Amino acid sequence: MMSKTVAQCDLRNEIARVIDAVTAGETFVVTRNGEPVAELRPIRAVRRTFISRGEVAALAAAGVRIDHRRLRNDNARVIDQGL
């Protein structure tokens, strides 16, 4: 799922529309002077433990940085290392 971008001033003027979109499942990156400063996303009751290949590819295409230490720690917690 790709994030949409919204400028801080547009967010201020269109907050109801953006919150409705977030409630419907969309994610927004908020920018200030063209620089990303925050992310608005739906709250999930349970943290997902699986990310599809398509989602990883979309993140890579969007230039999203993945923290390899956090990824490794998350994998170690979820995957049974005794297998």
DSSP string, the chain: -PPEEEEHHHHHHSHHHHHHHHHTT--EEEEETTEEEEEE-PPPSS--S---HHHHHHHHHTT----HHHHHHHHHHHS-TT-
What are the extents of the domains in the chain? 4-78
- Superfamily (CATH H level) for 4-78: YefM-like domain (3.40.1620.10)
Q: Which of these, 30, 38, 26, lies nearest to 13 by C-alpha position?
A: 30
- Residue 39 pLDDT: 93
pLDDT band at 46 (very low <50, low <70, confident <90, very high): low
The pLDDT-based confidence of 28 (bands split at 50, 70, 90) is very high
Put simply, whether the predicted model's pTM sits higher than 0.75 gets the answer no
The length of the chain, given as a count of residues: 83
CA distance 25 to 61: 20
